[in-house]
Structure 1
C-alpha cells in the first residue's frame, strides 16, 4: 500500500497564479468549493472523502489515462482505490454516473453539456479534466471506397492525396439517391464528437447530414438528410458495416484500424485532418459528487494529469507499454498490432498505405488536459447548427453554460498542487495567471473556416449548410 500524505498546503504564490478562467467561473455564479478557496490565502489538499471509487469507460484507446492511472499506481498515490468497469454503450455509462452506480467516467465531450442543458437525460454533469485530443477517423466500406477513388487527386507516387474531402463521396451519395437507396452511416451517440465530426466533414463536401427537431419530438437527426446517420456502439462498427447495414462510420480507435486489418473498409480521413488538435473525451462526474467530495475530485484529477503526462512523455516513448496495457481484455481488448497502428504515431488508411500521424493521439501536450470553455462552446455551436438546440441563444448563454460544465478551477488546483510537489512542471500547463479559458481563434479546419469561441453566433453564421441565427426547423 502506498501511504497518503496528510494534506498539502498550496502557497499564496500558487493561488495567485490561478487563471482568469477561475475568476470567470466565480463571477458568473458557478458554485464551487475551489472558486471560494481561491480567495483564501491558502487551501489544503486534504484526505479524500471517498476512497473506494468505481469508474466507467467505453472500449476505446482514448480511455488510456484511466487505465494508466490505475496500472501505474497514480490513483493509489492519491489514496484512491479504484475499480474500472467497461460499459455497454454511452447511454448506459451516462446513466451509471447519474444514478451513482459509477462515481465518474470517460465521457464524450458533448455528454456533460447535453445533460446539463437537458437534451436527453437532465443532470448536472461537470468535467475538471479533458482526456485527449484527436483520435477518431471516418471509414467507408471497400465498395464505397472503390467508387470514391476516381474522385480523389493522386500524389506523384499514385497514392491518394490527403486530406480526402467529402467532395469525393458526394457523387456516390447522389448515385444512391438517384437509385432510391438510402445512404446509411454510423456514429456512436447523438451528442458525440463523432456525430459532429462526421456531420462537419459531410457538410463541408456539400452532403447534408440532416437536422434534429426535439421541439417537434424528432430526435432522429435525419430531416432533409442526404446521408442518414444512426447510432452504433463503437466495437460493433466494423461488423455492422461488414453486414451492409451502414456504408461507413465515424468512430475512435481501434475500430477504424480494425476495418483495415479485417480488409472490410478504408479509413478516408482522421479527425486531426477535419480539425487539427480537436478536443475529444472528458472525465465526467456529477456536480453533486464534487460538492460532496471536493478533495476526492481534486485527487482524481491529479492522478489523471500524471497519467496523461506519462502517455506523452519523451516523445511518446511509453506508448508501446501503453498499447500492451490497453490490449488487455479488461480494457480495449483489441490486438496489440491494431492498437499500435494509431497509438504509436502512424495511421494506416488503405491497406498498406501507412503514414506518419504523430499527433493522432495526444494526451498531454498542447494543453490537451485543460478543460477550455472554447472547446465546450464548439460542441454547443454544432448542437445549434444541427437543431439539437432548437432556438437562438446569445453568445453569453454559450459562455455561461460552458463555464457551468467545464471546470478549469478544479483542474488548476490539482495542477498547482502537483507542481508544488515537483511531480510536474509549471511550464507544462497554460499560463494560469493570464488564462481566461478560451483558446486563440482556430484556423485548422478542413473547410478553412475560423472558429472563435468568444463569438459563437458569428461562427454558426459562416456555414453554408446548417441552421443560422433566426432559423428553426
Structure 2
C-alpha cells in the first residue's frame, strides 16, 4: 500500500485557505463551493443512526471521546431497532447519516432495498467480525460443519430448515448465501430464509424459530454464552479482511452539507484509528459499548471477540489472524470501489437486481473516495492506496479484484436465474 500522506492541519481544515473575497471549487468534491475563510460544517449537530452491534464502535467512540468536537460537530448517535428502521429514517431525513449495511446502501441506490435514492458511502467502518451460528440441536445431531449440515438438509424435505439474516440485501445475507452455496446448499431452494433484527437473533433461536443465523457480534458470542448455539464459521474465514459496515448517507445530504460530511468522516475516521491503536483502547471501547445506551450486554460478551479471542462452542479456542479491524493504517477505512462491486456481483448472482448493473459506475457514484481523501488529509498521517481496487482470495479459492465483475457473478455453480444485461 502506498504511504502517500497529506499534511493539512485541523485548523486549515476548519478555516479553509481560500483567498479573501473569492471562492473556488474543491478539487474532487462534486458540486461543492468553499466560501472564502468558511469551510466550517453547515450543521453543528449531526444525528447518526446505529444498530447495537460491536461494529458501531467508531460512530459511538467519535462521540464519547470527543473527536466530533475537534471538527466542529456534535455527533448524536441514535440507537435503532432494525436495519429497516435505519433505512427508513435515513431516506426520510430523520437521520443525517448511519452505521449501515454495505448491501443495503447499494440496494437503495438501485431501488431494490426500498425506494430508489442516490446514496453515499463516506468510509468503511470495519472489516471482519461477523459469524454464522447454528443451533445446539444440530450439534446434538452431529452437525458441526458445512459438509455435515448439507447431508442433514439433504435428508429432509426442502424448506425444513430456517436460517435468518438481517436484511434482504445485507452483508449477512450475502455471507450466509455464499457459505451455504459453497457447501452445495441452495439458499433459495433447499432452505427457508427470514429477516430478523440483530438483537432478536438469540431469542428467536432459543425459541426454536431457526436452525442458524448470520449476524454481527456480540450476538454470535451471546448464543454460545447462553448455551443455545455454536459458531460454525466466522465471516473472516469466508473472506479474510472483508468489508462490512459503512458510514452512509444520502447523496443529496452530501451535496447540501459537504463540509459537514467531510467533518463527520474525519471524526469517525479518527475514532477508528484510536480504537485500533492499542489493546487498552479496544478494552475501553468494549466497556463503553456494553453500556445500556449502546448494546446493553456483559462486557465479557463483547471483549473477547473484539480482541480476536475466539471460542466456537465446540471446544475450540484461537487467536484470530483476521479479527474485527476498524482502521489498520487506513486499509479498513478506505471505500474501495472493488468492495462495493463485490456486493453488486452477489446481488446479480442471486437474481436480486432487475438487470445487470454497470458495476464500476455504480461504485464510483456511491463510494465517495474524493470526500474520504479530504477527510483523511484533515486527520493527517493516514495512508492512501495507490489504486481504488484491491485483490482478495475467498475461502473457495476464487480471487476477487473487480477486473471482470460480470464473469465473476456468472462463475458460481449455484445461482438464481440470470438477470438481463444492462
User: TM-score, normalising length from structure 2?
Assistant: 0.90
**143, 147, 152: which one aligns with 1:167:** 147
2-structure distance, mates of 1:43, 1:338: 50
Separation (CA, whole Å) in 2 of partners of 1:399 and 1:44 = 36
Contact 1:8 1:417 (C-alpha < 8 Å) held by counterparts: no
The answer to whether structure 1 residue 114 and structure 2 residue 107 are counterparts is yes
1:461 aligns with 2:415: no
Cα distance in 2 for partners of 1:268, 1:309 equals 30
* C-alpha RMSD over aligned residues: 2.4
User: Are the structure 2 counterparts of residues 45 and 448 from structure 1 closer, same or farther at C-alpha, using a change threshold of 3 Å?
Assistant: farther
- Displacement of 1:121: 2.2
Which of 305, 315, 319 is matched with 1:342 structurally?
305
How many correspondences in the alignment? 402
The answer to whether the 8 Å contact 2:131/2:220 transfers is yes
Pairing 1:368–2:368 present: no
Query: 1:55 touches 1:84 (CA, 8 Å); kept in 2?
Result: yes
Q: How many angstroms does 1:471 deviate by?
A: 7.2
When normalised by structure 1's length, the TM-score is 0.80
Residue 85 (structure 2) pairs with residue 100 (structure 1) = no
Cα deviation for residue 32 of structure 1 reads 1.4
CA contact (8 A) 2:46 2:96 kept: yes
CA distance in 1 between counterparts of 2:404 and 2:99 reads 29
1:134 equivalenced with 2:83 (yes/no): no
- 170 and 45 in structure 1: CA distance in 2 versus 1, 3 angstrom threshold: farther
1:66 to 21, 40, 59: 59
Can you give the 5+ residue segments of structure 1 that lack an aligned partner in the other structure? 12-21, 153-163, 211-224, 420-424
Unaligned runs of 5+ in 2: 1-9, 19-25
CA distance in 1, matches of 2:221, 2:56: 17
* Cα separation, 2, equivalents of 1:198 and 1:43: 50
CA, structure 1 residues 43+202, in 2 after alignment: closer, same or farther (shift >3 Å)?
A: farther
The alpha-carbon deviation at position 460 of structure 1 amounts to 1.4
- Looking at structure 2, the residues matched to 44 and 5 of structure 1 have their Cα atoms a distance apart, in angstroms, of 11
Equivalent positions of 1:43-442 (< 5 A) are 46-119=39-112, 120-149=114-143, 164=145, 166-177=146-157, 182-210=160-188, 225-314=189-278, 316-350=279-313, 352-365=315-328, 367-393=331-357, 397-419=358-380, 425=381, 428-431=382-385, 434-435=386-387, 437-439=388-390, 441-442=391-392
Runs (4+) of structure 1 moved beyond 4 Å? 8-11, 42-45, 467-472
Deviation track 1:262-313 (CA, whole Å, cap 9, x = no partner) reads 0001011000001111000011111111111111110001001101101111
- Sort the Cα spacing of 1:45 and 1:246 in 2 relative to 1 into closer, same or farther, 3 A: farther
Cα separation, 1, equivalents of 2:221 and 2:78: 24
Distance 2:251 2:420 in 1: 33
Structure 2 SS opposite 1:339: helix
Q: Which moved more, 1:267-276 or 1:114-123?
A: 114-123
Measured after TM superposition, the shift of residue 354 of structure 1 is 2.4
Q: CA deviation at 1:181?
A: 6.1
Work out whether residues 135 and 272 of structure 1, in 8 Å CA contact, stay in contact via their aligned partners in 2.
yes
- Alpha-carbon distance in structure 1 between the residues aligned to 2:335 and 2:104: 14
Instruction: Check whether the contact 2:282–2:306 (CA below 8 A) recurs between aligned residues.
Output: yes
CA contact (8 A) 1:452 1:459 kept: no
Q: Secondary structure at the match of 2:236?
A: helix
Structure 2: distance between partners of 1:311 and 1:468: 43
CA contact (8 A) 2:132 2:214 kept: yes
Whether the 8 Å contact between 1:66 and 1:307 is mirrored in structure 2 is yes
- Relative distance call for 1:43 and 1:411 in structure 2 (3 A) is farther
SS of corresponding position for 1:374:
helix
Deviation string for 1:404-428 (max 9, x for gaps)?
1111100000111222xxxxx1xx4
**Structure 1 position 88, deviation (Å):** 1.3
Separation in 2, partners of 1:291, 1:391: 28
Q: CA deviation at 1:176?
A: 2.4
CA distance in 2, matches of 1:10, 1:413: 14
In structure 1, how many angstroms separate the alpha carbons of the residues matched to 2:62 and 2:342? 29
Cα displacement string for residues 311-359 of structure 1 (whole angstroms, at most 9, x for unaligned residues): 1113x33111010000011111111010012101211201553211143
In 2, the alpha carbon distance for the partners of 1:381 and 1:390 equals 13
The answer to whether the 8 A contact 1:201-1:446 is kept is no
Distance in 2, matches of 1:279 and 1:331, equals 23
Q: Retained in 2: the 8 A contact 1:460–1:468? A: no
Aligned-residue offset at 1:457: 1.0
**Quick one: distance in 2 between partners of 1:355 and 1:343?**
13
Q: Distance in 2 between matches of 1:89 and 1:77?
A: 30
CA separation of 1:135 and 1:43: change in aligned 2, threshold 3 A: farther
Show the counterpart of 2:6: none
